[in-house]
Homo-oligomer: A and B are copies of this chain.
Amino acid sequence: MNALDVDAVRKDFPILDREVNGNPLVYLDSGNTSQKPRQVIDAVREHYELHNANVARSVHTLGTEATEAFEGAREKVAAFVGAGTAAEIVFTKNSTEAINLVAHAFTAGAQDPRLRLGPGDEIVITEMEHHSNIVPWQLLAQRTGATLRWFGLTDEGRLDLSRLEDLINERTKLVSVVHYSNLLGTINPVDVLVARARQVGALVLLDGSQSVPHIPVDVTALGADFVAFTGHKMLGPTGIGALWGRFELLDAMPPFLGGGSMIETVAMTGSTFMPPPARFEAGTPPIAEAVGLGAAVDYLSAVGMDAIQAHEKQLTAYALDALAATPDVRVIGPTDTADRGATISFTVDGIHPHDVGQILDDEGVQVRVGHHCARPTCVRFGVPATTRASFYLYTTISEIDALVRGLERVRKVFA
């Protein structure tokens, strides 16, 4: 494994040259959305300047080029996450759509018993989910009469597995769990959950929105049935996400959105549908966005996901130490680097995160404040909101120093 050359990496990200409020930009909000390297921005521009056309519909040259670029991106993404075939990658608009797509496959009348859901059946999530992995299941439970249950959390910010056997049981149809929490930074024990789900015949969806960008993910090795992830958090454009699913299972699922390109044949009296992934990609897909995402995974692979993980671990250890040394800071989530990612939420005694974020912004330091779309996690830890710093391959140790300096200024303003 080659070590990551952060100075070289930073040169690829045009936005890092920017100033914010007269200070150099210190972007510590990559968990929210990542910045984009020149290579991705250029790939999108070049696509529009040279190859733009609709896909899968044309015999003309531009259409063929666009289709090859689009399907080529699917192959790159498939390889990046270790999918068996490119046909297991469904392009969506974001993680959220990917999760909703799976939720809509479950109905009372489903042909496949695995997807049949009604009163008495259970779906299991956790108290550390992003709203995008909570609300779709609440809505599904409302539609079908199924029951939504969830894992609680330990004070350390880990899944409380003491009730594993009770929570995942014979009635469980689906376990949908975040791989890497966007608020706590916790990386969950997928193997334990998958093993138990297999025992009872439940399907497993992993919300990989934070893991796929930051750690090497091999969907086949993980053993889940579905993994959802999103382009904009992994150096790619906005407007694109993906659902990986085992082909056999995708093929058992009914269509979600109906429209062009997902059909086999249409008559006024009824239609038949394409096999996956086309079945789930109604209408014109995010073509330029796929091309950009392809460039993003090329970039990540060139740097090396192992190197990125090692770099982020170093940053996380440094930041956790630095924050531990500040008495008025309380970290919400694991306080050592075992099974945790480079996302650190914390509170500052007596000062609301909004005010923390505002003063840090004045110093050029961009952190996210609020409930991070994981309000139940905040409730669990008795805080209305947190301040969150999240790192990526372009983050430096001196940016963490800037954060710590910024926190001193926060204290001064509110002294």
Interface positions of A (Cβ within 8 A of B) = 14-15, 18, 20-21, 25, 27, 29, 32-33, 35-36, 40-41, 44-45, 48-50, 52-54, 57-63, 93-97, 99-100, 103, 127, 130-136, 138-139, 148, 150, 230, 232, 237-241, 255, 257-263, 265-268, 270-271, 282-289, 354, 357-358, 360-361, 366-370, 373, 375-376, 379
Contact = CB atoms under 8 A, between A and B. Distances in A.
Nearest to A96: B283
Given A33-B52, A41-B45, 10 more contacts: A14-B50, A29-B54, A48-B237, A61-B361, A63-B368, A100-B282, A103-B258, A135-B271, A139-B255, A239-B240
B96 A286 contact: no
A303 to B, nearest CB: 19
Contacts of A271: 131, 134-135, 138
- How often does this chain occur in the complex, in copies? 2
Contact of A268 (B21, B134, B268, B370): B134
B132 A50 contact: no
Contact of A61 (B49, B131, B262, B366): B366
A132 B54 contact: no
Given A131-B266, A132-B260, A268-B134, A286 B58 contact: no
Contacts of A130: 259-260
Nearest to A136: B258
A130 B266 CA distance: 10
A100 B57 contact: no
Nearest to A20: B61
Contact of A53 (B33, B48, B133, B136): B33
In the A-B complex, the 3 residue pairs with the closest CB atoms: A96-B283, A135-B258, A239-B239
A95 B283 contact: yes
Contacts of A127: 268
Contacts of A25: 62
B361 A94 contact: no
Given A29-B53, A99-B259, A271-B135, A232 B284 contact: yes
